[in-house]
Structure 1
């Protein structure tokens, strides 16, 4: 019996088998360091992941084929013989993801004993060598540190008679448990893609994704500010400042509801003025490039240029391009501002050519040009182009008739006296309220905005008694001079006639401000206005204005008109002839004032249209609006002017006129629908080009004026040092606020601008 006990002691050691998680983890912690491939960013596993009873076979391993290939030295899947444990511990590291080599075959019998395949299920770490007919422990062979465990790592175990006892003994060994835990953790790390490099890549990918989300929010914030036309920067943008500017303050506000902004604005920031300029530049270029693609597709375009002086006393030239798409929809697009120091024709011409070259626009495709203020700047713009297509309805009569000039000077001084003082304006308001009238303000006279002149004259006319009372209460030398000038028949009479004239021209001015009207429509409106002005040039209308002026003078106790003292002719050589004609007071106002004003404005409007060489335009409108065929000379003129084939125009004209006989469209908008409905834009390509050219010709430069309104909102006295590129970009994004921005494309261009950004984003 004693012999039996000794033999049992040899097989069963007096210690508990610790197969729980805590012991296994503790064993791993106390073990010696292993090679890098054995422990890859180890982590603690759940209890059910560390037990020896866990089934781990090559069939349920979730590692992909690509991962297996990445751990092998060959590019193809190796044969089972190469996984045989007889090749030593080194091969175990190569096939770590495939696990133990567990072939199922007819195992050879030695002394009536053989290896049993059922042991694979009981001992998932067990593997078998077909070459040696011996069993090995895959985790221990993989680790290969303990020399006293050679039967399961180097030489192999083959005592099949006591196989179960010996396998249990090895499984209970602490060193085996350490090896088993390391193997399981390594597999888990591989299966979860949490090895060191992949963890770094995943973390970087996560950070880059968050950074791109943050960058998108920066772009959205900048885009919002440009659409609203408000400033970006503050006077002080340091952390301690209470107002760091709209851009930073808006980000701070949004960070309350956006964790990404809250986190990243402290980590990577990207909020300084250089980044702002870059984002503005990228967004404006995207909008500009989209406009340029539309212009290239339309081919023909017109240019409109105007000039103004900004708050910094710098000359700013505004360029607007007008074009028509395939559906005959007219577009007038602002292209930007350019700074200029000279207003000579040569300087403007060179500026325009360089600008168009930069935009990659062919000068040969320009079909019309429009420059505001042509009558005053004709000499300066002479070198810009061979033709000047300028249509402006308003004429500066005040510089041509002295009495009218004096009246406008009085009204301008009246505005400066009353509206530039809060105290005097309050007096004017109080007098209106006492009279039971709605409080009105006197408008400022403008040299370019003619509608302002009508608004100003209207207020002075309907509030004349209250203005007189205000001047009587104001204690200032200027008020007495203005009161003396306004309390005269001369001022009242001129006020009546100029109010009537500006009422008519203001209607024309507003009509011509539309970008959707054609030349023929503009001409019709102009003709109607001129005819109306001519209808005022008679005795009856003069008597009406004269009587109104007398009535107002009587109501306000103003002296009636008096005959002016005759000027004495100098009695010297060349002093002039004596005026033998004697005019009474009424004839004087009728001839020297009333008729003179009407003749001046009528003649100026007619001359302004005549000098713009609109004969080609009228030919095209005749071509499209009437059933009459253009003669040979007219067709050749159009073909030469716009580089079109004479034969194509002549043939397509007949086809168009034949189709036109079935209907009678009377206006260009009706012709537009007629061409599209009958698909003539496809069937008659040359006629289609001419019709697009006709719609492309501008009637006014109002879009340039609108850009100057944007300029005044953006470049204020607080932002007077704004750079030219930033100013032009802000103006473009504000004017073209309806244009959509592709934020993803902006992010792509922003990141690719510098190599270091590719790491961050």
Structure 2
């Protein structure tokens, strides 16, 4: 008996790793009268020693929460710190719960309400009634709890190998069979979520094609960009692949059209809300023909935000039954009404110089002013600059002919591959570091845009020698039509007068082209345009001197000698009719320089006269604008108080300076000048050009091609708006559009679950 007691003591000491000296063999722990035979230690009635319960506040709070939780609240075994588990005391030692048991027996669950451990699987299975077939259930691990740490290891081992534990673990691993209606709801919801994700991919594909201006359908629907883009997505998305195989996938042309209209309408609503918020606005209208010959009228709005930043927005293309001023004016007011804008805020209108737009009585501007007299009318500054150059060239025969020959050379270069090859070879041989060759710029001149011709003229001038050699070789290559044309052009370009005429036109056309570009900016204002015109006119006056022409003439003579061109000479004398000269003797130039100087000065004078006439600030609308500008700068008249304060604060000398000064102010200082801000908005909202409409024509040319000529007007309008406002298109919430599309009828709501 004594021998057995010594073995038990040795086992306990080695297991718990006590450092204390072993006690006598006859010392035994006290027992309790529980169902765990007679070996269960008695739980202490007092708190453990201070060393066993010390810990931070977080651990204590966690223990309190665990004590409040019932067993049904646990989803996994509770493994608290061993310091929170009560200590078993015997007469000679204290037996602690060992942390390593958590790893060896992960099913151990400490139940705070019992202050004992249970088998998590057995206890849970018992509560669910899953242990009816189990044999030898142990209450200590099922319901009562176990706390005899002295015999913990053997009891844990025996329980883990018991039939009850195996049955409980197997029963808990089986998920309860769901009801049929629950299964159907879960399956339906899964299908709806898959359909939602697939519809999102469809919208993303549409947005990409709209942004890039690409076609949706090809020769067949399967070969189109839209279907091929979805095929790229479906390779990595099984849900999308299953969705697209359904009979109803909302990828038909009708569904595409509806989605495209949603994108376009969302952008237009955003633009309309911003225009309405900013108050005063101006309107720009211009027309062009699409690839099928249909007249398309583009309408754009100009508005100024609270920070005095100018915005020009394209809102659509419209097909009209006629292009009369009355019809176009009705279209303008119809668009204003559809965008929920107020006609009272219309303050400016800008068009080209066509009679149907600027007619004094029946033009569009006159019809608009009948309903809104405060809408000032401005002739497009870019169109005016183009007309100035056109009339000036027409008044100078030498310049007119030289430009026409440059155009004919461009036509030959474009149509004859043989001539193009000859020119490129010769130009490459004569290539030097200080004179780069740009044969690609030798092209036909634009028949209407005169201020886009300078690159072609400069290219011919810079490559004059290669042009002559190419024409000579082409003219001697045979009797084809291209050879005949090359021979005729060679005769023209071999004259020194042709080169001098190109020199005469170069500087003026470049200056007017720069004026045109400066006015095309979206932030350009009328006062700034008038200042730019004044600077350009001053430059023209500086070029109208004998010294300036003498330099041009000497340069042309030097070039003629270098290239062996026909020398400059005075043409044959011709006396004008006496009815024009009277009795006075007619004037005849005595030298080539005098003769060509007369034409040069007439050309510059024509430009100056046209600028004075077409940019006349005394015109009705420009005069009204000038009054507003002078009011802002001078600081007097109607807004005396605020304007005087603003003038004293900023000392601005132009509308642009006043605008920049206002933008630099803090919000508190800005609030001192609300009327000044309104006045500046009225000045800034006046469009300088209708270039925004021209930009929409570029988009129209990209979108409606020969391959897409059957596009309807409604679709064209939406596609053009999306392509022109790609930043707004990128910021559209696809989730919102998907919900709107899916919620439009009951059938869609069932499919997508919205």
Q: 1:429 to 1:375 in 2, by over 3 A?
A: farther
| 1:477-626 correspondence to structure 2 within 5 Å | 477-567=484-574, 580-584=585-589, 585-591=592-598, 593-610=599-616, 611=619, 613-624=621-632, 626=633
The residue aligned with 1:247 is 226
The residue aligned with 1:299 is 279
Cα deviations across residues 197-224 of structure 1 (Å, max 9, x unaligned)? 3333322222122111111111111111
Q: 1:681 to 1:255 in 2, by over 3 A?
A: same
Determine the C-alpha separation between the residues in 1 that align with 2:604 and 2:128: 111
- Find 2:238's aligned residue among 245, 259, 277: 259
Determine the C-alpha separation between the residues in 2 that align with 1:663 and 1:222: 50
In the TM superposition, residue 590 of structure 1 has moved relative to its aligned partner by 2.2
Cα deviations across residues 157-210 of structure 1 (Å, max 9, x unaligned)? xxxxxxxxxxxxxxxxxxxxxxxxxxx9xx997xx7x43333333222221221
Q: 1:375 to 1:483 in 2, by over 3 A?
A: farther
The residue aligned with 2:134 is none
> What RMSD, in angstroms, separates the aligned Cα atoms of the two structures?
3.1
Q: 1:493 to 1:602 in 2, by over 3 A?
A: same
Determine the C-alpha separation between the residues in 2 that align with 1:614 and 1:207: 65
In the TM superposition, residue 321 of structure 1 has moved relative to its aligned partner by 0.7
The answer for unaligned runs of 5 or more in structure 2 is 1-69, 74-124, 130-170, 370-375, 476-482
The residue aligned with 2:741 is 750
| 1:422-433 correspondence to structure 2 within 5 Å | 422-433=417-428
Cα deviations across residues 690-715 of structure 1 (Å, max 9, x unaligned)? 11222211222221111111111111
- Confirm or deny: 8 A CA contact 2:349 2:365 kept in the other structure: no
Determine the C-alpha separation between the residues in 1 that align with 2:678 and 2:128: 83
Determine the C-alpha separation between the residues in 1 that align with 2:356 and 2:469: 39
The residue aligned with 2:249 is 269
Determine the C-alpha separation between the residues in 1 that align with 2:472 and 2:317: 47
Determine the C-alpha separation between the residues in 2 that align with 1:663 and 1:455: 42
Q: 1:566 to 1:226 in 2, by over 3 A?
A: same
What secondary structure sits across from 1:658 in the alignment? helix
Determine the C-alpha separation between the residues in 2 that align with 1:367 and 1:670: 22
| 1:343-742 correspondence to structure 2 within 5 Å | 343-374=323-354, 378-379=358-359, 381=364, 383-386=366-369, 387-390=376-379, 391-392=381-382, 393-394=385-386, 395=388, 396=390, 397-437=392-432, 438-440=436-438, 441=440, 442-475=442-475, 476-567=483-574, 580-584=585-589, 585-591=592-598, 593-610=599-616, 611=619, 613-624=621-632, 626=633, 628-631=634-637, 635=638, 650=639, 653-676=640-663, 677-678=665-666, 679-739=668-728, 740-742=731-733
Q: 1:124 to 1:299 in 2, by over 3 A?
A: closer
What secondary structure sits across from 2:378 in the alignment? coil
Cα deviations across residues 222-281 of structure 1 (Å, max 9, x unaligned)? 11111112221111224xxxxx11111111112222333222122243222222221111
- Confirm or deny: 8 A CA contact 1:569 1:577 kept in the other structure: no
What secondary structure sits across from 2:586 in the alignment? coil
Pair 1:333-2:338 in alignment:
no
In the TM superposition, residue 350 of structure 1 has moved relative to its aligned partner by 2.4
Cα deviations across residues 401-425 of structure 1 (Å, max 9, x unaligned)? 3333322221111111012332221
Q: 1:330 to 1:308 in 2, by over 3 A?
A: same
In the TM superposition, residue 381 of structure 1 has moved relative to its aligned partner by 4.5
**Is the deviation greater in 441-450 or in 264-273?**
441-450
Pair 1:207-2:191 in alignment:
yes
The residue aligned with 2:211 is 227
Pair 1:196-2:180 in alignment:
yes
In the TM superposition, residue 746 of structure 1 has moved relative to its aligned partner by 1.2
Cα deviations across residues 33-60 of structure 1 (Å, max 9, x unaligned)? xxxxxxxxxxxxxxxxxxxxxxxxxx99
TM-score (norm 2): 0.68
Determine the C-alpha separation between the residues in 2 that align with 1:123 and 1:262: 45
In the TM superposition, residue 566 of structure 1 has moved relative to its aligned partner by 4.4
Determine the C-alpha separation between the residues in 1 that align with 2:327 and 2:397: 35
- Confirm or deny: 8 A CA contact 1:314 1:340 kept in the other structure: no
In the TM superposition, residue 289 of structure 1 has moved relative to its aligned partner by 0.2
TM-score (norm 1): 0.68
Determine the C-alpha separation between the residues in 2 that align with 1:596 and 1:575: 19
Determine the C-alpha separation between the residues in 2 that align with 1:692 and 1:711: 31
The residue aligned with 1:216 is 200
What secondary structure sits across from 2:567 in the alignment? coil
The answer for unaligned runs of 5 or more in structure 1 is 1-58, 63-120, 126-183, 239-243, 636-649
Determine the C-alpha separation between the residues in 2 that align with 1:422 and 1:521: 46
The residue aligned with 2:55 is none
Determine the C-alpha separation between the residues in 1 that align with 2:341 and 2:547: 56
What secondary structure sits across from 1:214 in the alignment? helix
- Confirm or deny: 8 A CA contact 2:349 2:378 kept in the other structure: yes
Determine the C-alpha separation between the residues in 2 that align with 1:658 and 1:472: 72
Q: 1:382 to 1:287 in 2, by over 3 A?
A: closer
